[in-house]
Amino acid sequence: MVPELSVVIPMYNEEEVLPLLVERLRPLLDGMGTTYEVVAVDDGSKDLTAALLQRYHREWTQLRVVRLRANAGHQAAISAGLVSALGDYVVTIDADLQDPPEIIPQMLAAAKDDGVDVVYGVRSDRSTDTWFKRASAQAFYKLIGLMSQTSAHADAGDYRLMSRATVDAINSLPEHNRVLRFIVPALNFPSDTVEYKREERAAGDSKYPLLKMIKLSLDSLTGFSTAPLRLATFAGFGGAVLAVLLVLYTLISRSQGHTVAGWTSTVAIVAGVGAVQLVCVGILGEYIGRMYGHMQGRPTYFIAYDSMTTDTGTHGPTDTPLPAQPSEANIVTTPEETDLPEAAGVPNGPEGLDGLDGTSPGPAADGAPVADARPESSQLRG
């Protein structure tokens, strides 16, 4: 049975906030009076996120656990969730509870009543964010708007509801290193907005430090605009004009008997031209790197485990079931790994880390490869 609503949640080391998320999300979805599934995408977490998800999956049948073989990044994890989701409408939301799940019913109602394909969650109050983050976000979105034909709301992140047509359109794109907060507006499907107040992170640490934000910005800029290439061209023309003017100035000065002062000006000119050249080479390198990655056709993520196919036993021809009960001798734990959060209710020891329902989310015993228990269409995705 195809659910009406799918909620996709990318997760990476979210063991602290996961119990709080389930406590708020489950009663909300149960009270909506609609069929639903929650697709939790474990992006190669190194803490007890996988064990907690397995526990909640046993108690909460609508929770579907999709685990990636290795950490692929936030946007790749969302893409994996979109490929796996089955619902007529799909909501993407982060696990940190900064974006309140309580507005999901309002987003679904807006999509149905207004007949739109996308409903963006827009942050009307971002006082919990730092001044630097708010200012840099505003400046970046304005820059993207000026340098490309893609418009995205500066206060809309990855919290959105999409129709099945929108999700299918996104899944059909061959693009690597996709930034969904710009790809979805670029589709130009009918859309609406729902405003909300952005909260503090409920628990845990942010998974988007400054370096990852810079990488996301570069992917966004080079993925949606050729303006940097044109900037390199304009800089080259500007350098050529400046060089011609300098030659004319030198010839006039020589004809009038003037001498060119010292080496300082020479060094400054050479340094300036060299800087322009390096910037242009760097910009070209960004685009060549994207072309190289696209030509390789290497998937951005690999799905290692999907609780839906494991529960139903519908494995593909190349799938092998996960091991029933790995021996304790092959399970290595540390004191930190066996201390689960008390609120999670997961027993300590090897049985607490084993995948419940007779499965294990971790590596198989004796070094055997982990099974690819997933739909055939979601084994490898770009």
Which stretch of 60-74, 158-172, 173-187, 219-233 has the lowest confidence by average pLDDT?
219-233
Is the distance from CB of 101 to CB of 205 less than 8 angstroms?
no
Q: What percent of the chain has pLDDT over 90?
A: 34
From residue 104, give the alpha-carbon distance in Å to each of 23, 31, 140, 196, 222: 15, 12, 27, 11, 32
For position 284, what pLDDT does the model report?
A: 79
Q: Which H or E run contains 124? A: strand 118-125
Q: Give the pTM.
A: 0.62
For position 289, what pLDDT does the model report?
A: 67
Amino acid at 339: D
Is the distance from CB of 99 to CB of 157 less than 8 angstroms?
yes
Which stretch of 12-26, 137-151, 256-270, 360-374 has the lowest confidence by average pLDDT?
360-374
Cα separation, 218 vs 221, whole angstroms = 5
Residue 262 has pLDDT above 70, yes or no: no
Q: What percent of the chain has pLDDT over 70?
A: 55
Query: pLDDT, tens digit, for every residue of 203-218?
Result: 656 655 666 667 666 6
Neighbours of 122 (CB within 10 A): 18
Is the distance from CB of 167 to CB of 90 less than 8 angstroms?
yes
Top mean pLDDT of 13-17, 125-129, 226-230 is at 13-17
- Gyration radius of the chain over CA positions: 26
For position 170, what pLDDT does the model report?
A: 92
Closest by Cα among 347, 349, 355, 325 to 67: 355
For position 219, what pLDDT does the model report?
A: 67
From residue 49, give the alpha-carbon distance in Å to each of 44, 55, 216: 9, 10, 25
Q: If you average pLDDT over residues 283-297, what whole number do you get?
A: 70
Which stretch of 62-71, 164-173, 266-275 has the lowest confidence by average pLDDT?
266-275
Query: Could you tell me the pLDDT band of residue 379, with boundaries at 50, 70 and 90?
Result: very low
Q: Is the dihedral of CA 279, 281, 282, 286 positive or negative?
A: positive
For position 168, what pLDDT does the model report?
A: 94
For position 364, what pLDDT does the model report?
A: 41
For position 345, what pLDDT does the model report?
A: 46
Closest by Cα among 221, 217, 237 to 287: 221
Please report the DSSP string for 65-78 in residue order: EEEESS---HHHHH
Long-range contacts, stretch 101-107, CB < 8 angstroms, 24+ apart: 101/7, 101/21, 101/24, 101/25, 101/28, 102/24, 102/28, 103/194, 103/196, 104/5, 104/7, 104/28, 104/29, 104/32, 104/161, 105/28, 105/32, 106/194, 107/160, 107/161, 107/194
Q: Which residue has the higher pLDDT, 227 or 108?
A: 108
Q: Which residue has the higher pLDDT, 357 or 85?
A: 85
Is the distance from CB of 303 to CB of 354 less than 8 angstroms?
no
Long-range contacts, stretch 172-176, CB < 8 angstroms, 24+ apart: 174/294, 174/382, 175/223, 175/294, 175/382, 176/290, 176/293, 176/294, 176/298, 176/300, 176/382
Q: Which residue has the higher pLDDT, 188 or 30?
A: 30
For position 191, what pLDDT does the model report?
A: 93
Q: If you average pLDDT over residues 25-42, what whole number do you get?
A: 96
CA 374 to chain centre: 21
CB-based contacts of 13: which residues, under 8 Å, 6+ apart?
A: 45, 46, 47, 49, 204, 207
Residue 257 has pLDDT above 80, yes or no: no
Q: Give the chain's mean pLDDT.
A: 74
Query: Could you tell me the pLDDT band of residue 368, with boundaries at 50, 70 and 90?
Result: very low
Cα separation, 349 vs 352, whole angstroms = 5
SS3 123: strand
Query: pLDDT, tens digit, for every residue of 97-111?
Result: 999 999 999 999 999
For position 280, what pLDDT does the model report?
A: 79
Q: If you average pLDDT over residues 357-373, what whole number do you get?
A: 41
Which stretch of 108-117, 196-205, 338-347 has the lowest confidence by average pLDDT?
338-347
Query: Could you tell me the pLDDT band of residue 129, with boundaries at 50, 70 and 90?
Result: low
Q: Which residue has the higher pLDDT, 217 or 155?
A: 155
Residue 177 has pLDDT above 60, yes or no: yes
Residue 185 has pLDDT above 80, yes or no: yes
Query: Could you tell me the pLDDT band of residue 133, with boundaries at 50, 70 and 90?
Result: low
Helix axes 263-296, 210-224, angle to 10 degrees: 80
